[in-house]
Structure 1
């Protein structure tokens, strides 16, 4: 009896210690965001006070509509949603089909070709900006959705992630489907993809976050305000209101909200995908 109580007490202590460690790690990540929200509700001069105020003396809800109407942020959010949404669909589709080929199909040079794909990860993304721009410029796609989206539709990291997950799926399921007369496409569509929802959700969340906060490529690929995205709009907004920190923080908080909504909507699949897509 005493041993059982001792073991239970020990597990409780370990749980408290683990929870405290997680809390200590979470505080440095959460505090800046909370201070950003607090600053967005301050008066313009209150945010410049020394020492800085932690909470607003009088909540200024009007900072949000004032900041979001100073530039066409509605258009920026629409462009970013279209951009990120199309890229997510494209990356999930191309990554899933390529990953299945590398994980399950047998063809000459498969492993060497996969290593060649992985070698692209070592190339700095900024090196590819000029070739990508020349490509869309030659097609007349500068300052258009086609130019903004087309060169982002393939993710080498996504192919690698899904390939590792596909390799964990038992081959017995595929063999059983083949005995029932299913071809490769039917196996991929009806067997592999339904079992891969956590990994697909993980890739979709990462792709959406990556494109939502994409700044450099939209800055190069677009020229007009009508084709601007959120990150480019925030940079322009900073230049206009460089001394008005509450307005800047209000715009930044609004830009973060869609990311939080996407994460919470896909949280169950996302966390499951993180657990299952270990590198083998």
Structure 2
């Protein structure tokens, strides 16, 4: 038999426990830049490649943002044009000459009381948003956090109404409003859509994300169901409430068809319905229309700038996807 030299490894045969537990010889250090078998996460590509991808992403986002902003920019520039230039067959982006005549006409006209329309829209949209919160919040909380028989059936019926086209309800709503003697009044454009299904659905999805341990702790402290709702749930639901109020405000503010049906006198019109007066059968004042549209856009933009943090948080926590 040939003796195995000291310090050498046998050519064959099972490894013993001592072989497996013996310390391994130290490996030589790798050289700088030497490639390994496994890639580290995020190591693909160098700084130049990352800068290129970031630049391409910013370019795409810039193009998309420009497409979204171009109608608003054209609306603004058209409102600063003269009547002839605004209605030209070959439109131009830049006004030549620059003028504020359209705004002077819109704000100073007695035949078209734009500021009265603005006030009507502001009152109606604010009242509508408040009424939506008052009706949707308790209903959504009951469907989300209270256990009672028929809860699923009721919620399914609420969701089913979302698939009904609003135009189908024009005639029934008008008949109801007429019976209540609300035609040509503010309640006609505030009340009919205040108990819509979207607010209930939206808030219910948000209430489902709240931890139930908070309500249990409040109940142990002696709070009844109403106190839990007011003192615990509503403060936590502030982002969703702000989001729903803003969406309801915008829906009522931009509504055109329903106010055109139920508001008859020029003084009671809302701003979207009143701007239709600038369109005649054979003549359309594009400069006045764009000036009125700019005025109508100011509250919407201001509201979103102020409330965008709550809107983003409310939509993300409600589970809704855009």
Q: Is TM (by shorter chain) over 0.5? A: yes
In the alignment, what sits opposite 1:42? 81
Distance 1:135 1:235 in 2: 26
Instruction: Map Cα deviations across residues 41-76 of structure 1 (whole Å, 9 max, x no partner).
Output: 011222244532210122102320212333111111
How far apart are 1:14 and its partner, in Å? 4.2
In the alignment, what sits opposite 1:244? 285
In the alignment, what sits opposite 1:167? 208
Distance 1:200 1:7 in 2: 46
Q: Higher mean Cα deviation, 149-158 or 174-183? A: 149-158
Distance 1:84 1:109 in 2: 34
CA change 1:193–1:125 in 2 (3 A) is: same
How far apart are 1:128 and its partner, in Å? 0.9
In the alignment, what sits opposite 1:209? 250
Distance 1:51 1:236 in 2: 25
Q: Higher mean Cα deviation, 124-133 or 62-71? A: 62-71
In the alignment, what sits opposite 1:230? 271
Partner SS for 1:86: helix
Distance 1:96 1:204 in 2: 11
Instruction: Map Cα deviations across residues 67-107 of structure 1 (whole Å, 9 max, x no partner).
Output: 23331111111111111000100111211111100000111
The counterpart of 2:195, out of the listed 133, 142, 154, is 154
CA change 1:100–1:8 in 2 (3 A) is: farther
Instruction: Map Cα deviations across residues 173-232 of structure 1 (whole Å, 9 max, x no partner).
Output: 111111101111111111111111111111111111110011111111221112110111
Contact 1:241/1:248 (<8 A) preserved? no
Contact 2:206/2:319 (<8 A) preserved? yes
CA change 1:274–1:13 in 2 (3 A) is: farther
- 1:255 matches 2:291: no
How far apart are 1:145 and its partner, in Å? 1.6
Distance 2:290 2:252 in 1: 21
Matches within 5 A, 1:27-38: 27-38=66-77
In the alignment, what sits opposite 1:100? 141
CA change 1:122–1:261 in 2 (3 A) is: same
Distance 1:237 1:69 in 2: 14
Compare CA radii of gyration and give the structure with the larger one.
2
Partner SS for 1:54: coil
Partner SS for 2:76: helix
Distance 2:70 2:312 in 1: 23
How far apart are 1:10 and its partner, in Å? 5.5
Matches within 5 A, 1:173-188: 173-188=214-229
Relative to its length, the structure with more helix (as a share) is 1
Instruction: Map Cα deviations across residues 215-262 of structure 1 (whole Å, 9 max, x no partner).
Output: 111111221112110111011122289343212211111111111111
Contact 1:143/1:221 (<8 A) preserved? yes
Distance 1:107 1:75 in 2: 48
Distance 1:240 1:268 in 2: 44
CA RMSD of the aligned region, Å?
Answer: 2.1
- 1:65 matches 2:104: yes
- Unaligned ranges ≥5, structure 1: none
Instruction: Map Cα deviations across residues 21-44 of structure 1 (whole Å, 9 max, x no partner).
Output: 222222111001101100110112
